Amino acid sequence: MANPTAAMLVIGDEILSGRTRDSNMHYLAGELTKHGIDLKEARMVSDDHAAIVAAVKHLSAAYDHIFTSGGIGPTHDDITADCIAAAFDRSIDVRDDARALLAAHYERTGSELNQARLRMARIPDGATLIENPVSVAPGFTLENVHVMAGVPSIFESMVASILPTLTGGAPLLSQTLRINQGEGEIAGPLFELAKEYPDLMIGSYPFQKDGAHGSNIVIRGTDGTQIDAAMTKLSDLFPE
């Protein structure tokens, strides 16, 4: 059976303006690969209600899982929770279990659970909470959409919380061979090799360093035996 599929939706003006560099997609891709869930698409959208709703609707219909990052904090521009609720036509309000988590946390830290912080307890109807062991304010899952914070340390902790609850497939394996020839020279034999192994992903990635240039050939798939066989043939084709 094919692995489950996924997409990621990165939300935030600060990403698209270049003010903040996104690292969450890179982290998620690695974790999903190990778990046997194939990340097929990643998008970035601004803090715009209509854009977020449209993206969520499209992606949730196209893939088994959607992972979002950003926009669930305490400020006015944190609108992700409202957009997810709108995408699935659900109401949203402060939920008792989320409020209790925040209340206990701010009592321990000697801070006030004010109206701004209480925004982080607003959860769409029917959603389940995603644990946040870093700063307590939870993410949530609604339908097949997993909604998480944008701060990398919190995002990573939420991924660790949600992944064990998801059914994965076969982890993606890979091997790499560096060839000291340009892509124009190796394209023909590489094309034939790819036709011979249609179940594998064979990618060519050029490099140039210290005056030398060539190609890194990466073979990926879920069948280690096939990867070994393809890598052996690749080495025979380019014995250098």
The last residue of one of the domains, among 139, 165, 191, is 165
CB atoms within 10 A of CB 119: 19
Is residue 186 located within the same domain as residue 153?
Answer: no
How would you class 103 by CB atoms within 10 Å of its CB: exposed for 0-12, middle for 13-18, buried for 19 or more?
Answer: middle
Domain closes at, from 165, 200, 228: 165
pLDDT of residue 1: 72
Q: Full-prediction pTM beyond 0.75? A: yes
Residue at 214: amino acid letter: G
End-of-domain residue from the set 147, 165, 183: 165
Whether residues 104 and 154 fall in one domain: yes
Structure tokens at 106: 């701010």
Long-range contacts made by residues 30-35, C-beta under 8 angstroms, separation at least 24? 31/159, 31/163, 32/6, 32/163, 33/171, 33/172, 34/171, 35/163, 35/166, 35/168, 35/171
Q: What pLDDT, on a 0 to 100 scale, did the predictor assign at position 90?
A: 98
Give the number of domains in the chain.
2
Q: Are residues 160 and 206 in the same domain?
A: no
Host domain of residue 219: 173-237
CATH code assigned at 180 = 3.30.70.600
Whether residues 144 and 223 fall in one domain: no
Q: What are the pLDDT tens digits along the chain (240 aa)?
A: 789 999 999 999 999 999 999 999 999 999 999 999 999 999 999 999 999 999 999 999 999 999 999 999 999 999 999 999 999 999 999 999 999 999 999 999 999 999 999 999 999 999 999 999 999 999 999 999 999 999 999 999 999 999 999 999 988 899 999 998 889 889 999 999 999 999 999 999 998 877 778 999 999 998 999 999 999 999 999 887
Sheet holding 65-69, edge to edge: 38-45, 5-11, 65-69, 145-148, 139-142, 128-130
Rounded CA-CA distance 77/174 in Å is 41
Asked if 157 and 218 sit in the same domain, the reply is no
Residue 24: its H or E element: helix 24-35
CATH of the domain at 115: 3.40.980.10
- Regarding whether 137 and 54 lie in a shared domain, the answer is yes
What is the pLDDT, as a whole number, of residue 121?
97
pLDDT of residue 209: 76
Cα angle 162, 70, 42 (rounded to 5 degrees) comes to 75
What is the model's pLDDT at position 227?
A: 95
Same domain membership, residue 212 and residue 153: no
Residue written as tokens 């270049």?
18
